[in-house]
Amino acid sequence: MHDSNKKDAQRILISMVLGLIIGLILFYTNNGDLVGYIKPLGTVFIKLLKMIIVPLVFASIFMSMINLGTPEALGSMGRKAVGYYFVTTAIAVFFGLIFVNLINPGVGADLGAEGLNNLSGNMAQRVSDQGGLFQTVVGVLVDAVPSNPAGAMANSKVLQIIVFAIMMGIVALYNPKKSEPVIKVMGALEEMMLALTHAIMKFAPIGIFVLMVGVLAQSGFSAILVLAKYMLTVILGLTCHAVFLLFVGTTRLKKSPIFILKGLAAPLLTAFSTSSSAATLPITMTCVEEELGVKKETAKFVLPLGATINMDGTALYESVAAIFIAQAYNIHLTLTQQIIIFMTASLAAIGAAAIPGAGLITMSIVLNAVGLPLDGIGLILAVDRILDMFRTTVNVFGDCVGTIFVDSFLNKEKV
C-alpha cells in the first residue's frame, strides 16, 4: 500500500470514530446546535471533492479511450462493465428480498400514523414527481445525450459528460494528428486532477470528522431504536452482498480480501461519511489504480460509469424498504408483486443520482409499480441518512469490484 494513501486511510478512520463519539456526546448533552459552528468545514470538503468530478470524469474517459486505441476495445469493455452491473445489482436485490422475507421487519410495526406526517412538503413533491418505470428508463437514456456539453458540465450531469467524452474520444482516435494538442491537454488535465485529489485527501480527516459529528449530534440513536429491525435487515443484506463482492474481487484479482479492503479503505470510509458515490469518485479512482494495480484505462472508464449507474446498495435498500412498507401497512404482496419489486428496484437504482438521499426519491418508482402508498416513505425517512451511509459504501465497493472484474478479462485478452 502506498505510504501516503495508507496514512490517509488511517487518519480518516480515526477521525470517523472521533466524530462518532463527539457527535453522540453533543446529542446526549443537548448541544447538537454547536454543530452549526463546524458544519461549514464539512460542506467545504464535499464541495472540494465535487469540484474535481467534472474535469476528472471528462479527461479520464477521453484518455481511457485514447489508451484503449480503438472504439471496439471500448465497446468490449463497456459490454463487460454493463453486464457486471446488471448481474450484481440483481444479486443485491435478491439478498435484500431474502432477508426482508426472513426477518419480516415491518410485521406488527406500529408506525402507521407517522407516515404522512413525516413526509415533508418538499420531499412529497419530489417523490411524486417521479414518473413510472418506463418513463424513468427512457428518461435516463434520453437524458444521457447532452444538447450542450458546457451545460452538462455546468450542471454536473455525469452521464452526459461521459457520452460527450466518448464521442470526443472516437473523433480523436480517427483523427490522431489533428487531435494531438487536445490529447496532450487532456492527459495533463487528468494528471492535474489526480494530484489535486491527493491534496484534498489531506483535508479528508477534518471534513469527515465534521460530517460524522453532524449526523450523530442531530439524530443520536433515538430514530435508530424505533426502526432497529428494519435497519438490521438492510445492513445484513448489504453485508452479505459486500461479502459476495469481496469474493468476486479476491478471485478475479488473485489477492487476499485484506489486501483489497486495505487498499480501498479510503474510498469506502469516504463513501460512508459523505453518502455520495459521486463525491467519492476522485478518491476511488486514485486508490483503485494505485492500491489495487488496476490498469488506468479500465479504472478511468469503468469507475465514472459505475458511480453513475451501478448502485447495488441502493437497489437492495429499495427492495427491502418497499417490502417493509407493505408489511407495516399490512398489505400482502404476491410473488408476482415481489418479482416486480425485484425488477423495479434494480432499474430505480440506475436512475438514482450518486448524491445523498437519491435512493429515497427513486423509491417512488418501486412503490408505484406495485401500488404501495407513497406516504410509506415517511416511515423510513428518519433513518434514511444513516442507511444511506451503508448503501453508498456498498455502491462504491460494487464499482471497485466491477473495475477489478473487467480488468481481469482485459488482462486475459492481452495475453
Q: Which is nearer to ligand ASP, 275 or 337 (CB)?
A: 275
Q: Which is nearer to ligand ASP, 186 or 381 (CB)?
A: 381
**Which segment (30-38, 138-146, 356-364, 373-381) binds ligand ASP by CB under 6 A?**
356-364
Rounded to 5°, angle at Cα 102 from 353 and 335: 75
Helical (H) or strand (E) element with 208: helix 204-219
Rounded Cα distance between 296 and 298, Å, is 5
Among 410, 415, 412, residue whose Cα is nearest residue 73: 410
Site string for ligand ASP, 384-403 (x = CB under 6 A): ----x--xx--x--------
- The answer for residues whose C-beta is within 8 angstroms of residue 178's C-beta and 6 or more apart is none
Q: Which is nearer to ligand ASP, 169 or 376 (CB)?
A: 376
Unique residue bearing C-alpha cell 460524522: 212
Among 303, 301, 310, 320, residue whose Cα is nearest residue 366: 320
Restricted to residues 55-114, the positions that interact with ligand ASP (CB under 6 A) are: none
Q: Which is nearer to ligand ASP, 194 or 355 (CB)?
A: 355
Site string for ligand ASP, 23-52 (x = CB under 6 A): ------------------------------
CB-CB contact of 161 with 58 (8 Å):
yes
**Which segment (90-98, 179-187, 298-306, 355-363) binds ligand ASP by CB under 6 A?**
355-363
Q: Which is nearer to ligand ASP, 172 or 235 (CB)?
A: 235
Q: Looking at 356, 378, 398, 402, which residue binds ligand ASP (CB under 6 A)? A: 356
Restricted to residues 262-301, the positions that interact with ligand ASP (CB under 6 A) are: 275-277
Hey, what's the cell of 191?
Answer: 494528471
Q: How far is the CB of 394 from ligand ASP (least distance, A)?
A: 9
Indicate the angle between helix axes 335-351 and 312-328, nearest 10 degrees: 140
Q: How far is the CB of 352 from ligand ASP (least distance, A)?
A: 5
Q: Which is nearer to ligand ASP, 26 or 366 (CB)?
A: 366
Q: How far is the CB of 152 from ligand ASP (least distance, A)?
A: 19
Q: Which is nearer to ligand ASP, 8 or 399 (CB)?
A: 399
- For residue 343, the SS3 value is helix
Rounded Cα distance between 339 and 343, Å, is 6
Q: Which is nearer to ligand ASP, 144 or 363 (CB)?
A: 363
Q: Is 354 in the site for ligand ASP (CB under 6 A)?
A: yes
Rounded Cα distance between 248 and 400, Å, is 11
Q: How far is the CB of 350 from ligand ASP (least distance, A)?
A: 11
Restricted to residues 233-262, the positions that interact with ligand ASP (CB under 6 A) are: none
Q: Looking at 153, 352, 370, 400, which residue binds ligand ASP (CB under 6 A)? A: 352
Rounded Cα distance between 370 and 74, Å, is 38
Hey, what's the cell of 209?
Answer: 470528522
Unique residue bearing C-alpha cell 480523436: 172
Q: How far is the CB of 310 from ligand ASP (least distance, A)?
A: 9
Q: Looking at 96, 359, 376, 402, which residue binds ligand ASP (CB under 6 A)? A: 359
Q: Which is nearer to ligand ASP, 281 or 333 (CB)?
A: 281
Q: Looking at 71, 78, 131, 357, which residue binds ligand ASP (CB under 6 A)? A: 357
Applying CB under 6 A, what is the total number of residues that bind ligand ASP? Answer: 16
Q: How far is the CB of 126 from ligand ASP (least distance, A)?
A: 13
Among 79, 141, 81, residue whose Cα is nearest residue 399: 81
Hey, what's the cell of 315?
Answer: 437497489
CB-CB contact of 186 with 164 (8 Å):
no
Rounded Cα distance between 107 and 126, Å, is 28
Hey, what's the cell of 403?
Answer: 473495475
Among 177, 68, 158, 182, residue whose Cα is nearest residue 350: 158
Q: What is the CA radius of gyration of the chain?
A: 21
Q: Which is nearer to ligand ASP, 186 or 269 (CB)?
A: 269
Q: How far is the CB of 238 from ligand ASP (least distance, A)?
A: 11
Rounded Cα distance between 258 and 236, Å, is 20
Site string for ligand ASP, 305-324 (x = CB under 6 A): ------x--x----------
Rounded Cα distance between 74 and 5, Å, is 30
Q: Which is nearer to ligand ASP, 168 or 235 (CB)?
A: 235
Tell me, rounded to whole angstroms, the distance of Cα 131 from its chain centroid.
22
- Interface positions with ligand ASP (CB under 6 A): 275-277, 311, 314, 352, 354-359, 388, 391-392, 395
